[in-house]
Chains A and B, each alone.
Chain A
């Protein structure tokens, strides 16, 4: 989960610790919880407030390390513990088919 793992041509590398919701996933925050729908399964998951916040941050493009830092600040948890929890939960979401590694954005070649 750390570093960059090439999965094909260089332009298709995944970003370090970055995820995105899979294309069939829809989710919203309903009150404190997040309701997650996997259209293709089909399945519904309900995440608690912290889980929902993790998904929200990952979907917003935050790498998992930054998610941990955000959780530490928002929920008054030790940073190391928050990051470990964020990584573990991201792995859970990935294995549940909710998120997938995000491709690294292609860097633009400078104009000649």
Chain B
């Protein structure tokens, strides 16, 4: 029995499978393109409220729990919450900048939280490039030391990078660095505005040539979809994505959203439980309907749509309409189509790692390489 039909049914039947929680917006780095809304009004959730959320998510049978921030380890109760998440049986992903994960903390992560994956941000192949992004001198060297510590204690680690004008000359070097470290590197090409609408991060968006080059490099490295991303559409789904259908995101003040990118409030955990929000938010039916309409909209774009990452959150942010076709997405789709059709082999969209339809499903009962991200 394969996983893809299960995920398709989760999307169809609105079964909550995955939650991403931003424990705090506090951070020990100061990334230039950080998307967090640092002026977000409201009161932070207490430890008891986070624990209640985790318990409710487990009762709803959510499998994957992503702990992020800000820097999640900057939350004063991070390890207590991580232990509770482990007790509740979640498949835990941690998105961290890695700056605080020295050997002692790496050991605590392994022994107390036991995450399935720690995803760490890499901003360049050279100290000057990485530190320019983090705006903390020495952060690159410290990251390398901490990645070594995480490897020594046996944590599963993946690197994540975003292509920017600052690192676009280091694509091969960043992959070479990841290869030397023995780590997988997920590389996206989309720089997003901040969640409060501030477009400053877009000033370091990569050039078209660099995006095309990244697509070529990714295609040369692997025709297979790199695991570890979250927007791979399962086959035979009427929806564009699982936002609000199988996944949700929660910010530090308890606001619940369809996904981390789509900041349309569904409710607030100060006022209602996640079960109440999931089952009766007046916003969710519209959100789910929009994901159906987005799929149709993408299919209506023909060949370009096939290569396109249609993110309702980005579209809403860029155009005011979640079904609006964002110019950047069209550009990336066209670049990807040109690069990949020239190469001839079906391959994932490197922006989202969406896979063109038609990949064979695993035979019944066959064990599969983990496709964990598709449960998002």
B6/A33 in contact, CB under 8 A: yes
Looking at the assembled complex, report how far the CB atom of B352 sits from the nearest CB atom of chain A, in whole angstroms: 20
Chain A interface helix/strand/loop/mixed: strand
Most A CB within 10 A of own CB, among B6, B15, B90: B6
Chain B interface helix/strand/loop/mixed: loop
Question: A39 to B369, alpha carbons, bound, how many Å?
Answer: 11
Contact code string B1-16 (vs A, CB < 8 Å = 1, else 0): 1110010011001010
Q: Which residues of A contact B10 (CB under 8 A)?
A: 30-31
Question: A107 to B361, alpha carbons, bound, how many Å?
Answer: 49
Q: Which residues of A contact B1 (CB under 8 A)?
A: 33, 46-48
Question: A30 to B372, alpha carbons, bound, how many Å?
Answer: 13
Question: A46 to B372, alpha carbons, bound, how many Å?
Answer: 12
Question: With an 8 A cutoff between CB atoms, is B63 at the interface?
Answer: yes
Looking at the assembled complex, report how far the CB atom of B70 sits from the nearest CB atom of chain A, in whole angstroms: 25
B61/A29 in contact, CB under 8 A: yes
B3/A28 in contact, CB under 8 A: no
- A contacts with B, residue count (CB < 8 A): 20
B63/A28 in contact, CB under 8 A: yes
- Which of B9, B114, B368 meets A43, CB within 8 Å? B368
Question: With an 8 A cutoff between CB atoms, is B148 at the interface?
Answer: no
Question: A46 to B62, alpha carbons, bound, how many Å?
Answer: 15
Q: Which residues of B contact A30 (CB under 8 A)?
A: 6, 9-10, 15, 17, 61, 63, 375
Question: With an 8 A cutoff between CB atoms, is A69 at the interface?
Answer: no
Question: A41 to B367, alpha carbons, bound, how many Å?
Answer: 11
Given contacts A39-B114, A46-B6, contact A26 B61 (CB under 8 A): no
Q: Which residues of B contact A27 (CB under 8 A)?
A: 63, 89
Q: Which residues of B contact A39 (CB under 8 A)?
A: 91, 114, 116, 156
Q: Which residues from chain A sit less than 8 Å from chain B, CB to CB?
A: 23-24, 26-31, 33, 35, 37, 39, 42-48, 96
Q: Which residues from chain B sit less than 8 Å from chain A, CB to CB?
A: 1-3, 6, 9-10, 13, 15, 17, 61-63, 89-91, 114, 116, 156, 367-372, 375
Q: Which 10 A-B pairs have the closest CB atoms?
A: A28-B63, A46-B1, A26-B91, A42-B370, A28-B61, A39-B116, A31-B9, A44-B370, A43-B367, A33-B6
